[in-house]
Amino acid sequence: MNVRFGGMAGMLAAAAALLAAPAAFAQGAGQWAVKLGAARITPQVDSGDVSAPALPGTRSDVGPDTQPTFAVSYSGTENVVFELHLGLPFRHKIYGVGALEGVGQLASVKVLPPTAFVQ
- pLDDT tens, residue order, the chain (119 aa): 444 445 555 556 666 666 665 555 556 788 999 999 998 989 888 777 877 787 888 888 889 999 998 999 999 998 899 999 888 889 999 888 888 888 888 889 998 778 899 98
- Closest C-alpha to 40, from 17, 64, 63: 64
β-pair type (81-87, 90-98): unpaired
Listed by start position, the domains of the chain span: 29-118
